[in-house]
Amino acid sequence: MSRILLIISAILFSLNSYAMPDDFCSYPVTIIPESTENELNQISQVEFSALIKDCFMTAAGASYDSVKDVVQCIGSPIDCAESAVEGIAGIYDALSNISEELRKIWGIISTLSPDQARDMLCTVIGAIAPDIVVAVLTSGAGSGKLGVTISKLTLKIKKMVDVLKNTLLLPVKLVAELSDEVLDSISKVLKSSKKKDFELDLRRTGCVIR
């Protein structure tokens, strides 16, 4: 069984018993500051768009050229609308929505150092990029299939935001790989009276965000 499956199993176990095994994980303790006054939160649209592009270029590799127009619209929906990128207009709302959710992720992690925050955002994008590439290559940049894919990925990111905004103790790399069902389960616990027990177990095992 892969390490990620072992971690997911441990999380599910903890959601039921709240007594996680000692070897749950061993991420270094790097708690994200909760202040929202950090300069990183004031990232400009141009900087954010460039960051989104860099992350997608890394994740998509040789396939980046096929999704560059889509990435442009995710990075800056306003510029996308103004430039009227051919074929994208029909899924503009979907692209705008996913851009907004990525902004929320950035708002949560941006109190870390620039390198840490960038790595975390790229981790999230790395988890969604393959589905976007496949949809574009098989159906086209303005296709209904891509619109549906973007909408599904947006829902997943919303779930990730819901978890991360309620606890800063889970590794982003782990959260990005969890299924919708597990994210829902964790979110439910974090909104319940058992949140404290869950977080105490995370701290005890050293499984915190990095």
Averaged pLDDT score across all residues of the chain:
78
- Judged by DSSP in three states, 113 sits in coil
**Residue indicated by tokens 């296709």:** 143
Q: What angle do CA 174, 7, 101 make, to 5 degrees?
A: 25
Condensed to tens digits (0 to 9), the pLDDT of residues 39-60 reads 445 678 889 999 999 999 999 9
79-88, 186-195, 197-206: least confident range = 79-88
DSSP output for 21-45? -TTS------PPP--S-SGGGG--H
Q: Name every residue whose Cβ is closer than 8 Å to that of residue 196 and which is 6 or more positions away in sequence.
A: none
Place of tokens 């496949």: 134
Boundaries of every domain in the chain: 25-205
User: Angle CA(153)–CA(176)–CA(134) in degrees, nearest 5?
Assistant: 45
Residues 6+ apart with CB under 8 A from 189: 15, 195, 198
What DSSP designation does 140 have? -
Residue by residue, DSSP assigns 52-76 as: HHHHHHHHHGGGHHHHHHHHHHHH-
**What pLDDT digit, counting tens, does each position of 58-105 carry?**
999 999 999 998 898 899 887 776 655 666 767 888 889 999 999 999
Share of the chain above pLDDT 70, in %: 72
Q: What is the pLDDT of residue 121?
A: 92
Q: What pLDDT was estimated at residue 26?
A: 46
Percent of the chain with pLDDT strictly greater than 90: 29
**Quick one: which of 141, 203, 127, 134 has its CA closest to 172?**
127
